[in-house]
Amino acid sequence: MRIEKYNIEEHNQSMLAEHKRKFDFVAAGVKNIEPVIQKLIDFNVAIPSWALGTGGTRFGRFSGAGEPGNIEGKMEDVGLLHALNQSSGAISLHIPWDIPENYAAIKTLAAQLGLKFDAMNSNTFQDQKDQPLSYKFGSLQHVDKKVRKQAIDHNIEVIKHGVELGSKALTVWLSDGSCFPGQLNFRKAFQNTLESLQEIYAGLPADWKVFVEYKAYEPNFYSMTVGDWGQSLLYANKLGSKAYTLVDLGHHLANANIEQIVALLLMEGKLAGFHFNDSKYGDDDLTVGSIKPYQLFLIFNELVEGMDARGMDHTTDLGWMIDASHNVKDPLEDLLQSVEAIMISYAQALLVDRVKLNEAQQNNDVVAAQEVLQNTFRTDVRAIVAEARLRSGGAISPLQLFRQMKIREQLIKERGTKSVATGL
């Protein structure tokens, strides 16, 4: 199914008066609002192909209905999100969950839906049915060179798919590690992984990047061979200028100061970008901004400050991706909420009075510094985000229109209740 322009226009017409009242109120309090709106219009978040169906845990999965059963259906769903919010114009594929059979047809469909192909994701954390060697004891770290070769070849194959589709980056997340003390020689595991990544790096086209994603634990529960930002940065620095560190918000130990990690990776020019989600305990992959919205704002505050300090392009110089899993929500509604939370935090970070903040920091005026940030965090910018959507042809309230148009019901009519999306 497709959302037509008139669907959006009818919705916006019915919401316009209320929206204008709210927008005029908040705009009155913002100096120089036009560049902020333009930045919001230009900003896009990539949608993970593995998060368009219902997720689950080891304790169970309560399947949803009308899920996309193939890559074309997944692209259609991302196209629906993008039609509604004009901020989801890219899809991030995971191989082998989404192997593109016919590149030309997939690219034509992407063009029709206004979608680009963001970073490609390899998968050496599962054994495929016809796979000769198992990744039970790791992949790029494995003590057996044959297993490492198998994993390297898979990553090279993923790059090939990406080149055909116009992607410009490979994300490598490794479940490699150990579950018990003594199981692994940490130094050898690091060196095997580095050597393997160097072979993958050598296979990167000149204009590509490789994103090294770290994670503190799960599925290994004693050590992970890319366990934190320091280890990922060690790999990225040893690999070369095309290697960067990817920050998945759910991959930290409790109470980690992620905004400080972001500030330092940016300072080093080694920040790849993000897998946005939220969590209260572990890698819960919950809706962005649903548990710790202030942390998300503080991360965007460091991003805007750090990117502007380096003259970076907010839209293109970092990878903006969601990585979430939906156990109890409709996947598309969950993703609409996540994109909205990201746009709100970005808008607030763009409104921070950096002159006043810098002054307070220079005067060690701790109270004034906190007031600058919290005044902005407590500013309701939703009408500014909606105005950016309105001007770029999106819906003033994407979630409301998704429900008013009964889109899930229409997808169920088209796909039935049994279709299951590959992914987590």
Q: How many residues are listed for the chain in this entry?
A: 424
**Among 326, 323, 334, 411, which residue's Cα sits nearest to residue 63?**
326
Q: Which of 76, 118, 176, 213 binds ligand LRH (CB under 6 A)?
A: 213
Nearer to Mn ion, 332 or 424 (CB): 424
Q: If you search the block for the tokens 């009242």, which residue do you land on?
A: 21
Q: Which of 43, 117, 173, 346 binds ligand LRH (CB under 6 A)?
A: 173
Task: Give the chain's radius of gyration (CA, Å).
Answer: 22
Which token pair is 36?
């902020």
Minimum CB distance to ligand LRH, residue 403 (Å): 28
50 binds, among ligand LRH, Mn ion, none (CB under 5 to 8 A by kind): ligand LRH
Answer whether 406's CB lies under 8 Å from 55's CB: no
**Among 415, 336, 334, which residue's Cα sits nearest to residue 1?**
415
Our finding on whether 98 is near Mn ion (CB under 5 A) is no
283 binds, among Mn ion, ligand LRH, none (CB under 5 to 8 A by kind): ligand LRH
Taking residue 191's Cβ as centre, other Cβ atoms within 10 Å add up to 12
Compute the CA torsion angle 402, 297, 275, 64 (nearest 10 deg).
-30
In whole angstroms, what is the distance from residue 314 CA to residue 208 CA?
Answer: 18
Answer whether 227's CB lies under 8 Å from 176's CB: no
Our finding on whether 323 is near ligand LRH (CB under 6 A) is yes
Task: Name which of residues 339 to 398 contact ligand LRH (CB under 6 A).
Answer: none
Instruction: Determine which helix (DSSP H) or strand (DSSP E) holds 172, and give its type and residue range.
Output: strand 169-173
CA angle 242, 248, 250 (to 5 degrees): 165
Nearer to ligand LRH, 150 or 422 (CB): 422
408 binds, among Mn ion, ligand LRH, none (CB under 5 to 8 A by kind): none
In whole angstroms, what is the distance from residue 78 CA to residue 83 CA?
Answer: 9
Q: Which of 19, 161, 270, 275 binds Mn ion (CB under 5 A)?
A: 275
Q: Which amino acid is at 52?
A: L
Our finding on whether 274 is near ligand LRH (CB under 6 A) is no
Nearer to Mn ion, 124 or 419 (CB): 124
In whole angstroms, what is the distance from residue 381 CA to residue 275 CA?
Answer: 23
In whole angstroms, what is the distance from residue 409 CA to residue 250 CA?
Answer: 32
Answer whether 174's CB lies under 8 Å from 226's CB: yes
Task: Name which of residues 108 to 127 contact ligand LRH (CB under 6 A).
Answer: 121
Q: Which of 248, 278, 285, 387 binds Mn ion (CB under 5 A)?
A: 248
325: Cβ contacts below 8 Å, ≥ 6 apart: 51, 55, 56, 285, 424
334 binds, among Mn ion, ligand LRH, none (CB under 5 to 8 A by kind): none
Nearer to Mn ion, 40 or 246 (CB): 246
Our finding on whether 94 is near Mn ion (CB under 5 A) is no
Mapped onto helix, strand or coil, the DSSP state of residue 59 is coil
Our finding on whether 98 is near ligand LRH (CB under 6 A) is no
> Quick one: how far is CA 60 from the chain centroid?
25
Say how many residues touch ligand LRH, by CB under 6 A. 10
Q: Which of 98, 323, 330, 340 binds Mn ion (CB under 5 A)?
A: 323
In whole angstroms, what is the distance from residue 79 CA to residue 4 CA?
Answer: 11
Nearer to ligand LRH, 174 or 266 (CB): 174
Q: If you search the block for the tokens 């919010």, which residue do you land on?
A: 85
Nearer to ligand LRH, 55 or 289 (CB): 55
Nearer to ligand LRH, 228 or 283 (CB): 283
Nearer to ligand LRH, 285 or 387 (CB): 285
Interface region with Mn ion, contact rule CB under 5 A, candidates 237-245, 273-281, 303-311, 398-406: 273-281
Nearer to Mn ion, 86 or 123 (CB): 123
Minimum CB distance to ligand LRH, residue 424 (Å): 5
Minimum CB distance to ligand LRH, residue 285 (Å): 7
Nearer to ligand LRH, 100 or 250 (CB): 250
Answer whether 322's CB lies under 8 Å from 277's CB: yes
Q: Which spans of this chain sit near ligand LRH (rule: CB under 6 A)?
A: 50, 121, 173, 213, 215, 248, 275, 283, 323, 424
Q: Which spans of this chain sit near Mn ion (rule: CB under 5 A)?
A: 248, 275, 323
